[in-house]
Amino acid sequence: MEIINSLGIAGVAAITAICYLVGEGVKVSGLGSKFIPVIVGVAGGVLGVIGYKIMPDFPATDILTAVAVGIVSGLAATGVNQVVKQLGGGTNE
């Protein structure tokens, strides 16, 4: 039962992972790197609402909080990308 109760925080990590992939998709689409944070933030907000609606243990008690959790999770994907670049010696595009 403990595993089922901890799925709420795993949902937040899943939002970050999905938004990371969305950001990578935007990068290869040629749309422009300056739009990636906005796009992953919006995607995270949408995924936060979906998580709130379908996951019983999602860490939000209302829609506004779910959107905020999603946006922060989405923007965390941008931070993960930067950490990978800095540790790997990659270049910013």
CA distances from 40 to 8, 34, 62, 82, 88 (A): 20, 11, 21, 14, 22
Those residues whose C-beta lies under 8 Å from the C-beta of residue 65, and which sit 6 or more positions away, are none
CA 64 to chain centroid: 16
pLDDT 10s digits, 41-60: 999 999 999 999 998 888 89
Question: Could you tell me the pTM of the whole model?
Answer: 0.81
pLDDT per residue, tens digit, the chain (93 aa), is 454 445 667 888 999 999 999 999 999 998 888 899 999 999 999 999 999 999 888 889 999 999 999 999 999 998 888 888 888 865 655
